[in-house]
Amino acid sequence: MDSATRARLDGVVADLRRIFGTRMEAVVGYGGAPEQWSRTLALVSSLTFEDLSPLVMPRVEFAQSLDAFPVEYGDIIDTHVVLAGVDPFDDVRIAPSDLRRALEARAASHLIHLRENFIEAAARPAAVDALVRESAPNFHAILRHLARLDGARAEPSAALAQWASARAGLDARVVGDVLALSTEAAPAVDPLRLFPEYLSTVVSLLHAIDRWPAS
């Protein structure tokens, strides 16, 4: 974490200490990369109406809602850096069954999104191009979490594409092309040509998650 980001986050911590005093248990930054650590989560022992803020939640509430938001909270747990207090996630684990179920729902929603928006695009090249590019990060996220569920490397993209081929039966080339669209500014990939294979790959991914062995 660079010094400017740390100084900015230290200011957030100081403000939270003034508000919560001894009720503040921990503050973490998260996001997966140092430049994204401006996102923070504060965990406190109690939260009143006067304290309400989207950045703060009672510690017990966070623990109780792990099963409801396993993907979102899993991201925080996997990528966080402690800014104040002790690490609040040392003894916190996402249940594999909760994560698998959430990923199945997300993959099904992603498939519906692709089908509906392709119909709305009415075969207009620019609209299909935008659909593929804008949906690629969500596809990437689903695969990344499924790889983590499998205890595999989620990065770099080439490793994730090979894992998807070996463990989920997906076409590594298609996966690699979609991942490129989610991580690169202008990759040498034609989204319009890619769409039919991309759609088929998402169908296969949903079937793979549905058959994923219980842990």
pLDDT at 215 over 90: no
pLDDT at 26 over 80: yes
Instruction: Give me the pLDDT at residue 184, please.
Output: 63
Residues 6+ positions from 72 with CB-CB distance below 8 Å = none
Q: Do strands 39-44 and 56-58 pair parallel, antiparallel, or not at all (unpaired)?
A: parallel
Give the residue, 191 or 39, on which the prediction is more confident. 191
3-state secondary structure of 25: strand
Instruction: Give me the pLDDT at residue 40, please.
Output: 79
Q: What is the spatial distance between Cα 26 and Cα 62, in angstroms, rounded to a whole number?
A: 12
Give the burial class of 114: count Cβ atoms within 10 A of its Cβ; 0-12 exposed, 13-18 middle, 19 or more buried. buried
CATH code of the domain made up of 3-85: 3.30.300
CB 165 within 8 A of CB 175: yes
Cα angle 45, 75, 4; round to 5: 80
pLDDT at 58 over 60: yes
pLDDT, tens only, 150-198: 988 777 888 999 999 999 999 999 999 999 988 765 567 888 899 999 9
Q: pTM of the full predicted structure?
A: 0.70
Share of the chain above pLDDT 90, in %: 43
Instruction: Give me the pLDDT at residue 38, please.
Output: 58
Q: What is the spatial distance between Cα 36 and Cα 59, in angstroms, rounded to a whole number?
A: 23
Residue range 90-116: average pLDDT? 92
Q: What is the DSSP string of 62-84?
A: HHHTTTTSHHHHHHHHHH-EEEE
Give the burial class of 112: count Cβ atoms within 10 A of its Cβ; 0-12 exposed, 13-18 middle, 19 or more buried. exposed
pLDDT at 35 over 70: no
3-state secondary structure of 30: strand
Q: Where are the domains of the chain?
A: 3-85, 96-210
